[in-house]
Structure 1
Amino acid sequence: MSTTTEPGAARPGGEFSLTDPELLTDPYGTVARIRERGAAVRARFMDGSLIWLFTRDAEVRTVLNDPRFVVDPASVPGHRAPNTRVDVMRAMGITEDMIPYLTEGMLDRDAPDHTRLRKLVSRAFTVRRVSELRPRVEEITEGLLDALPAHAEDGVVDLVEHFAYPLPITVICEMVGVPEEDRPLWLEWSHALFSMRPEEIEPTMWAMVDHIRGMIERRRAAPSDDLLDALIRVQDDDGDRLSETELITMVFTLVIAGHETTAHLIGNGTAALLTHPDQMALLRGDPGLLPAAVHELQRWCGPILMTRLRYAAEDLELGGVRLSAGEPVQAMLVGANRDPRHFSDPERLDLMRRPPGCGEQHVGFGHGAHYCLGAALARQEAEVAFGALLRRHPDLELGVAEQDLEWQPVPTMRRLVRLPVRI
């Protein structure tokens, strides 16, 4: 007699797998069920290795903020941590020459290297600098909305392709210094990387590395005045502060991270508003709600479901379990952001939500030392995008039934393949 297993339930070995289909089709419900099994749940990573999964707000914040958890397995004393991410890359066929470009960036380092790399670019993303960019963000947004009708077929247009993606990639490419004629290439590369098809990742990465090297060579010959120039000057003046590999990886990280997540915050958020007409009506009636609305949309349907793996740097206890030094752990942002221990009625989208306390109450942009460097820019772009879209298209509606929206089957992110809307 055959049996079925409830989504989110333990498998026969007692562990949940991050490759289980239900995590792709219903990440919110699946993680909610896992969250109620316990503060710490044994799980299988993408390569089948065992990890600890944390899905509740308190434990997720501890994993992200406590220095006893590190992102680089080499930071664990005594080399007691498995390099799980590298093992996955090797299993996917990524060559040894490519691995450093995927593992030596700012996102993969702990202090002091993380601090050193972040400091090199952090001034470009301060609230003041981002505020100065707002007129340009508004100009780009209006131009994209002007062009939207030309992309429509029978009044329906894909908002992901023609609005959600072009806005943030244009902004970050201008900041970094990627020439306009090269930006379609970056969009293609981004799609290829996040497709999670192993056969595409290595050739895509080499194409990006070669392209960035070319950008650096041309810029050394003809300097400009953007973030890439500033990084080149640092590398030329003192290679100990920024190696050539780190320079290339920094450009890659800034451009990809600087548009992918924002694009899908805009896409996911627009879909959420269109399927919650009462909330969309609130926002139309009071544009002053936009800052709070962006936070609530990032909490409720933000694109990042989980963080990079962390490793316990020493023996410790969290969530009622003992962790040995070197054990890998996974913080599930999607679980923390809907944790009823932290939010009242967390499954409800509520643009009027005003959680108690100061600061961000969600972890959609992360938490701790690795908090999203571009969070202020992402919030601003989303505010401008939602505000202008609702103002310019008062009759905006979905171009397909809600159940026909197509989500990309990627376990780490919640991403629409396309968002057909009728304008």
Structure 2
Amino acid sequence: MGTSAAPSTSSTTDAGLPAETIDLTDPRLMRDPFGGYGRLRERAPLARGRFTGRGTPVWLVTRYADVRMVLADPRFANDPANVAGLDAAGIRARELAARGVPAEYARYLDSVLDVDGADHLRLRTLVSRAFTRRRVGALRPRVEQITEDLLDRLPDGAAGGVVDFLEGFAYPLPITVICELVGIPEPDRPRWRQWGRALIEMRPGGVGAVLAAMVGHIRELIEHRRAAPADDLLTALIRAHDQGGDRLSDTEMVTMVLTLVLAGHETTAHLIGNGVAALLAHPGQLAALRADPGLLPGAVHELIRWCGPVHATRLRYATCDLEIGGMPVRRGEAVMAMLVGANHDPREFDDPARLDITRRPGGDAHAGFGHGPHYCLGAALARQETEVALAALLRRFPGLTLAVPYERLERQLMPGAWRLARLPLRLAG
């Protein structure tokens, strides 16, 4: 595949999206989100979207400047309870019902991602020190060691010379790193991988059992850490809970562990998988990276822009009447920032469908990690893990190739996400 190809299937045709309300679960749109949301972006600053069976439509924000504005503007709230006159309880109940979450476990899903203002700052401050550039940099030798160990074992999982890179490497690396950082013992980590997969798949009737198991496990870990403190984030959270007065409630402590472990491995796993697939499909870019490993930091940023795994943010609610791109949004209406539209907006990126690991300006001009107060807490760690993974993989397996054409790679059809179902690779060409 040449460098001019966009990250979509060659057989994709126009999604035939209606001008009035977009079905975000339409398989055609999920197979070609780059083309689908690109057409919406060029049609108007805002589009109407709806999750099948989830009631009220939402505004889809698709242009780069508008996405950045929405993510940074305090007039938008993550928590609908912060919007005067809005039926926050009803909104929450519909969301939980759609996800199959039993009422007794709902409180464990109200995380740092869902709160605003002082509550958000309080919770974020409690864990932000673990994710500073300095602390992440200190983790690098351990990330490199885990990477090498996983690559040593990767050929053992080959069948007919082909390995599933997602299962053999892309998932084990970030879940090992985040579990060590938080304080999840090694024997328990396979369960977290299974739990994460179950929550993503949202099998009918299964979410409650998974949440019950996860919450129970976290409570056991908390009691163990109280008796045997360690140099990990869980111990720091326990200290904040036990000694800090109202700094952290019991439910918030459990929720924070749940959020950090799940968010800390799911998206990074798919960033690594998407990035490897993209590079192998672009031999010119791959050759440039092999020739100059110094391009790696910029290459990771470009991969996040071009094929990042997160295409949409959580809903935000307008706290007053306002405008986005000159179009009116009323108080209480929900908006969703489409990162995929922003990251492929020709107003911001020259020839955005082209993968270019030397693209300038570099850095996080992309919106792949969000923007504003809710900018991804683990962004530096995700970038580092991806850099280490790519460097070691390309060095260890110079003959690495895709086992199937890029266009035929199987993806999970999930609105707002770009995730491979598996990534079959041949380690020797």
TM-score tier, shorter chain, comes to over 0.9
Cross-structure match for 1:301: 307
Equivalent residue runs for 1:2-401 within 5 Å: 6-7=14-15, 9-10=17-18, 14-46=20-52, 47-79=54-86, 84=91, 86-102=93-109, 104-355=110-361, 360-401=364-405
Q: Which segment is superposed worse, 104-113 or 84-93?
A: 84-93
Shift of 1:412: 2.3
2:37–2:341 CA contact under 8 A, matched in 1: yes
**Contact 1:54/1:331 (<8 A) preserved:** yes
**Does the CA-based 8 Å contact 1:306-1:334 persist in structure 2?**
yes
Give me the whole-angstrom Cα distance separating, in 1, the residues matched to 2:156 and 2:21. 50
Distance in 2 (CA, whole Å) between partners of 1:363 and 1:335 is 10
State the identity %: 61
CA contact (8 A) 2:41 2:341 kept: yes
Q: Post-superposition shift, 1:240?
A: 1.3
Q: SS at 1:341's partner residue?
A: coil
**Contact persistence 1:296–1:351 (CA under 8 A):** yes
Residues 109-128 of structure 1 show CA distances to partners (whole Å, capped at 9, x for unaligned) of 10110000000000010000
Indicate conservation of the 8 Å contact 1:219/1:229, yes or no. yes
Shift in Å, 1:83: 5.4
- Report if aligned partners of 1:292, 1:351 keep a CA contact under 8 Å in 2: yes
Per-residue deviation, residues 29-73 of structure 1 (Å, max 9, x unmatched): 111111111001122134132111101101111110000011000
Bigger drift between 267-276 and 194-203 goes to 194-203
How many Å apart are 1:85 and its aligned residue? 5.0
**How far did residue 89 of structure 1 move?**
1.5
* Shift in CA distance, 421/168, structure 1 to aligned 2, threshold 3 Å: same
Relative to structure 1, the CA distance from residue 8 to residue 35 in structure 2 (aligned partners, 3 Å threshold; closer, same or farther) is: farther
Do the aligned partners of residues 8 and 332 (structure 1) sit closer, same or farther apart at CA in structure 2, a change above 3 Å counting? farther
Letter in 2 for 1:392: R
- Return the alpha-carbon distance in structure 2 between the equivalents of residues 312 and 384 of structure 1: 40
SS in 2 for 1:78: coil
Count of residues in correspondence between the two structures: 414
| Contact 1:73 1:311 (8 Å CA) reproduced | yes
Sort the Cα spacing of 1:80 and 1:316 in 2 relative to 1 into closer, same or farther, 3 A: farther
Give the equivalent residue in structure 2 for 1:409: 413
Kept in 1, the 8 Å contact 2:14–2:36? The answer is no
- For 1:115 and 1:93, how far apart are their aligned partners in 2? 29
The 3-state SS of whatever aligns with 2:116 is coil
CA shift at 1:401, angstroms?
A: 2.4
Which SS does the other structure have where 1:43 is aligned?
Answer: strand
Q: What TM-score, normalized to structure 2?
A: 0.94
User: Can you list the C-alpha shifts for 1:335-391, whole angstroms capped at 9, x where unaligned?
Assistant: 1000011100000101110127xx521000110000000100100000000011001
Where structure 1 has 5 or more consecutive residues not aligned to the other structure, the ranges are none
Q: Is the 8 A contact 1:8 1:33 kept in 2?
A: no
Moved more, 161-170 or 23-32: 23-32
The one-letter code sitting in structure 2 at the alignment partner of 1:211 is H
Shift of 1:80: 5.8
> Equivalents in 2 of 1:273, 1:86: separation in Å?
42
- Asked whether the 8 Å contact 1:405–1:416 carries over to 2, the reply is yes
CA distance 1:230–1:61, change in 2 (3 Å): same
**Aligned pair in 2 of structure 1 residues 249, 304: CA closer, same or farther (>3 Å)?**
same
How far apart are 1:6 and its partner, in Å? 4.5
Q: Secondary structure at the match of 2:317?
A: strand
| Matches of 1:239 and 1:53, distance apart in 2 | 41
For 1:283 and 1:341, the matched residues in 2 are separated by 27
For residues 301 and 405 of structure 1, the distance between their equivalents in structure 2, rounded to whole angstroms, comes to 14
Q: Tell me, which stretches of 5 or more residues in structure 2 are unaligned?
A: 1-12
Question: Quick one: distance in 2 between partners of 1:273 and 1:89?
Answer: 38
What root-mean-square deviation, in Å, do the aligned CA atoms of Structure 1 and Structure 2 show? 1.5
Query: How far apart, in 2, do the equivalents of 1:85 and 1:158 lie?
Result: 38
Name the CA distance, whole Å, in 1 between partners of 2:89 and 2:318. 11
